Amino acid sequence: MKYFRLVWKNVFRKKTRAFLTMGSIILVMVLIVVLVSLLDALAGEAALGTLGASRVVVQHATGLANFLPLGYRQKIEQIPGVLAVAPEIWFGGTYIDQRPEHFFGQLSTDPEVWPIINGDVKIDPQQLKTWQSERDS
């Protein structure tokens, strides 16, 4: 501690050198964090294997609110290698009342085809049967 004042004065004697040194140290730390995060993400992808790699999502160019024509379903089903096609139609939903904090998005889909496409999702067989048999579930 007795040399702190001397060190402090000399660190900022040449401000350009001090800021370049601090900048390079910060840059090195940021690069280390980014690269370690990238390696963790790649390791996580390898652990998941090909989960979801065979799914392709096709949507209207302007977003979820506009639907693809129904004729596209037959065209997509005819593509070699396609196992199943399930349309998912987005619509807004609210609960309790119409306040914005009670809004949540919902997707309607074909309950017979959805389990084929999303086979990795674990659903209780009884709940799946109820969903497939009741229109409003």
Whether 102 is in a domain gets the answer yes
46 CA to centre of own chain = 17
* Spatial separation of the C-alpha atoms in residues 129 and 108, rounded to whole Å: 16
pTM, two decimal places = 0.50
- Does residue 128 share a domain with residue 75? yes
- Does residue 75 share a domain with residue 44? no
- Does residue 32 share a domain with residue 77? no
- For position 31, what pLDDT does the model report? 97
- Does residue 84 share a domain with residue 44? no
Binned at pLDDT 50, 70 and 90, residue 16 comes out as: very high
Cβ-based neighbours of 131, under 8 Å, separated by 6 or more? 111, 123, 137
Contact 106, 91 (CB under 8 A): yes
* Spatial separation of the C-alpha atoms in residues 118 and 56, rounded to whole Å: 12
- Does residue 122 share a domain with residue 87? yes
Whether 87 is in a domain gets the answer yes
- Does residue 118 share a domain with residue 78? yes
- For position 109, what pLDDT does the model report? 85
pLDDT in tens, 95-109: 778 888 888 878 888
Whether 55 is in a domain gets the answer no
**Of 42, 130, 116, nearest to 86 (Cα)?**
116
Whether 56 is in a domain gets the answer no
- Does residue 35 share a domain with residue 75? no
- Does residue 83 share a domain with residue 43? no
Burial class (CB in 10 A: 0-12, 13-18, 19+), 38: exposed
Q: Which of 49-53, 89-93, 106-110 has the lowest mean pLDDT?
A: 49-53
Its domain, for residue 112, covers 71-133
- Does residue 44 share a domain with residue 90? no
State how many domains the chain has.
Answer: 2
Cβ-based neighbours of 107, under 8 Å, separated by 6 or more? 88, 89, 90, 91
Whether 53 is in a domain gets the answer no
